[in-house]
Amino acid sequence: MNLMKRIQLVFSIIHACMATIFACVALILLVIATKQVWLALVGDLDHAAAQQIIEAIGLLAASVVALQIAQTIAEEEVLRDAHVSGPTRIRRFLSRFLLVIVVAVAVEGLVAIFRAAHEDAMQLVYAASVLVSVGVLLAGWGVFIRLNRYAEEIEPEAMAEAKAEDEKLK
């Protein structure tokens, strides 16, 4: 095995470890959110319980983000052994990542709005800025995808290669 193959193997092992840690963090957050919902349900179903459930939603969103990042790393860097270099691969990798981030930030913004509406109205500006950032992320993502499509048209073989890599996972 030549030196480059060994280095790529080391990077694949590191990526697998990172994906495992992200998956473990997702499970821990899921357990914490479940405990929070349980405590809210066994107590009085009042304003405090609603706040606990809203906080649990935020934890679940963070858990989904961690799990999706773990899946993306595992699929892109370990299973496919696809190194992000061509425009098609970059677009697909960033699209998966940004989708998770946009959803998580949107959920966190909604949680912040509920919290601010019930606790501290001064925090509504912060919550609104979080939701505005979701719009900015979506707009930037759309521009990136549009510009990246032009690059893909220049390299159609990169798209064919990415589709062939997808067959490995079926």
pTM > 0.75: yes or no: no
Q: In a 3-state reduction of DSSP, which class is residue 138?
A: helix
What pLDDT digit, counting tens, does each position of 29-57 carry?
Answer: 999 999 999 999 998 888 888 888 988 98
CA distances from 149 to 35, 42, 86 (A): 45, 52, 12
More confident residue, 50 or 19: 19
d(CA 32, CA 10): 33
* CA proximity to 17, closest of 93, 77, 82, 62: 77
What pLDDT digit, counting tens, does each position of 44-95 carry?
Answer: 888 888 888 988 988 998 898 899 889 888 887 777 755 555 667 777 777 8
d(CA 165, CA 110): 37
Chain centroid to Cα 60, Å, comes to 12
